[in-house]
């Protein structure tokens, strides 16, 4: 049996640093690029280069990763680089918020920013995206970016009802702004009257009144003024006995 060193003594030791060398050559108006994986090593006091492989057939992004990796950078898989701590829906909220911004909806409610105005804006957006009672709304909007986008993350249902009281006090001013924005002198305005009734015997908010539908129960009326294009200009609730 021959000693192992007789087979290995003539082979160069695999030492030195590997790197990517890129060369360019122009031929008949076309530039050809060649990417070679090379190793530099010293032999008998002379620096030599050994070509380990041709990387030109690989995609450019992959060649760049190999080049940077050989230079000492560390790469990890995308799934290992980040940890998902929360995932909230955003697209539909952004679409509604953008539409409200383009319509100048905030200035329609009040000219100056306020806590109540932000709450009303958030309620309107939530009503469009996912209509729910006030308590459910304050829970739902934390599953989206709505609460943080509108700055109402710490609001509860009592805050929403208080904001609705604030909105009720501003109804006349808002309707005047709507009329100034959408109505003009001589414009045709339609007037509509709708009624509703409630059944029961112990509702402190209900009052017996005249029902236009002949139901004979506690009744209420909703009066609404519309333009010809069915754009609401104002709405007023009235008691049923105002028949």
Question: Is 128 found in the same domain as 150?
Answer: yes
Average pLDDT of the chain?
80
CA distance 181 to 176: 9
Residue 216: pLDDT above 70? no
Domain that holds residue 195: 186-239
Residue at 85 is within a domain: no
Sheet holding 232-239, edge to edge: 189-198, 218-227, 232-239
pLDDT tens per residue, range 93-110: 999 999 999 999 999 999
Write down which residue in 55, 79, 103 finishes a domain: 79
Identify whether 155 is part of a domain.
Answer: yes
pLDDT for the residue 121:
97
- pLDDT tens digit sequence for 60-100: 999 999 999 888 888 887 777 777 788 899 999 999 999 99
Read off the pLDDT of each residue in 158-185 and give the average, rounded to a whole number: 90
* Residue 5 maps to a domain: no
Long-range contacts of 160-167 (CB under 8 A, 24+ apart): 160/119, 160/123, 160/134, 161/134, 162/116, 163/115, 163/116, 163/119, 163/120, 163/123, 164/120, 164/123, 166/116, 166/120, 167/109, 167/116, 167/120
Instruction: Say if 176 falls within a structural domain.
Output: no
């Amino acid at each position: 049996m021959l000693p192992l060193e007789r087979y290995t003594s003539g082979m160069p030791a695999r030492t030195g640093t590997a790197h990517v060398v890129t060369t360019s050559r122009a031929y008949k108006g076309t530039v050809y690029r060649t990417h070679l994986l090379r190793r530099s090593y010293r032999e008998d006091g002379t620096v030599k280069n050994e070509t380990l492989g041709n990387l030109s057939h690989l995609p450019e992004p992959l060649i760049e990763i190999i080049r940077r990796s050989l230079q000492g950078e560390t790469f990890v898989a995308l799934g290992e680089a980040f940890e998902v701590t929360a995932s909230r829906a955003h697209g539909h909220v952004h679409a509604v918020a953008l539409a409200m911004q383009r319509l100048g909806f905030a200035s329609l409610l009040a000219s100056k920013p306020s806590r109540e105005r932000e709450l009303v804006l958030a309620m309107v957006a939530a009503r469009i995206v996912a209509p729910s009672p006030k308590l459910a709304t304050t829970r739902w909007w934390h599953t989206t970016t709505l609460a943080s986008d509108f700055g109402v993350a710490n609001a509860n249902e009592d805050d929403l009802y208080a904001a609705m009281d604030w909105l009720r006090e501003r109804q006349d001013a808002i309707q005047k702004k709507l009329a100034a924005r959408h109505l003009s002198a001589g414009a045709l305005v339609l007037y509509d009257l709708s009624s509703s009734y409630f059944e029961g015997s112990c509702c402190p908010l209900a009052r017996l009144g005249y029902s236009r539908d002949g139901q004979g129960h506690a009744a209420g009326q909703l009066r609404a003024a519309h333009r010809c294009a069915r754009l609401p200009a104002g709405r007023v609730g009235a008691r049923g006995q105002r028949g």
